[in-house]
Amino acid sequence: MRNFSRDHRWLSINTATVRKSRGVEQPLTTIIEACAQRGIKAISPWRDQVAAAGLGEVSRLVKTHGLELSGYCRGGMFPAADAAGLKAAHDDNRRAVDEACELNAACLVLVVGGLPGALAGKAAHKDIALSRSQVYDGIATLLEYARAAHMPLAIEPLHPMYAADRACINTMEHALDVCDALDPGKTGALGVAVDVYHVWWDPKLEAQIERAGKNRLLAFHVCDWLTPTADLLNDRGMMGDGVIDIPKIRGWMEAQGFAGYSEVEIFSSAGWWQRETSEVLDTCIARHRSTV
């Protein structure tokens, strides 16, 4: 297992972590400069942040600073209530692949979606099996496009508390079942993003990481699970402040040959988003060395 205690060579910052500084939304260009100043080698930006800053400008800045993208957030949200909605999702996902290619991302992360309408507060139906079949078909179709573009797709299983509104793939086992069905050759075109926040509780986690193997382990996201958790979405903890044994999970990943970045992804509306970007990034670096 790699020793992270001496430097932060393998730290990546998911730019949602510093989306706000003292509660104020930060431009992605400012975030990139702050990361580059600290010798951070990789980021994983969100599409809305890229769109606001301009894809061309972000691409230029990333190249100027020699940054890598440990992933691009995000594609997915496949289920819809009608044919027009399914087509809109598909078209949007193709654009996400194109943007990921322009930014030379390691993978496009897929948050697959749940019951259509649920995220906006009113689900169109209660048929989660239908959503799961739409997710399967959506990934199958997108995979053809992504494969031709040489952009790996990383399914991110989300904690079951998000099954209704964000992702109806909730375990590594389910995600890998989809991978095995659609990419039986384990070509590297389709895999998983392992986010400790979503999967740390799973009694099958070690076995499923082993099942995944190197070619399916496309990304590793870290933060911590706070007790108590005050908000289901935006109360993630800094590594070391909660109950997740991150080095143990990283060890399981690396035993399979994973050698990529540990990407810090913290949504924290009352906590870290109220601090200065500089303090948050410096803390990420320190905790990456001590606790990841």
165 binds Zn ion (CB under 5 A): no
19 binds Zn ion (CB under 5 A): no
Query: Which window, 89-97, 245-253, 258-266, 280-288, contacts Zn ion (CB under 5 A)?
Result: 258-266
Where in 173-222 does DSSP place strands (E)?
190-195, 217-222
Instruction: Give CA separation, 106 vs 58, 132, 246, 250, in Å.
Output: 16, 26, 22, 18
CA-CA-CA-CA torsion sign (79, 267, 99, 107): negative
221 binds Zn ion (CB under 5 A): yes
DSSP class of residue 234? T
From the CB of 222, what's the least distance to Zn ion, in Å? 9
Sketch the per residue contact string, 173 through 202, with Zn ion: x for CB under 5 A, - otherwise. Answer: ----------------------x-------
Residues in the chain: 292
Among 111, 250, 265, 284, indicate the residue that binds Zn ion (CB under 5 A): 265
From the CB of 192, what's the least distance to Zn ion, in Å? 11
Output the six-digit token pair for 90: 């598909």
From the CB of 221, what's the least distance to Zn ion, in Å? 4
CA distance 150 to 283: 35
Tell me which residue of 111, 18, 13 sits closest to 62, measured CA to CA.
Answer: 13
For residue 91, give the 3-state DSSP assignment.
helix
Residue closer to Zn ion, measured from CB, 183 or 265: 265
From the CB of 82, what's the least distance to Zn ion, in Å? 29
From the CB of 6, what's the least distance to Zn ion, in Å? 26
224 binds Zn ion (CB under 5 A): no
CA distance 231 to 228: 9
Q: Name the site residues for Zn ion (rule: CB under 5 A).
A: 195, 221, 265
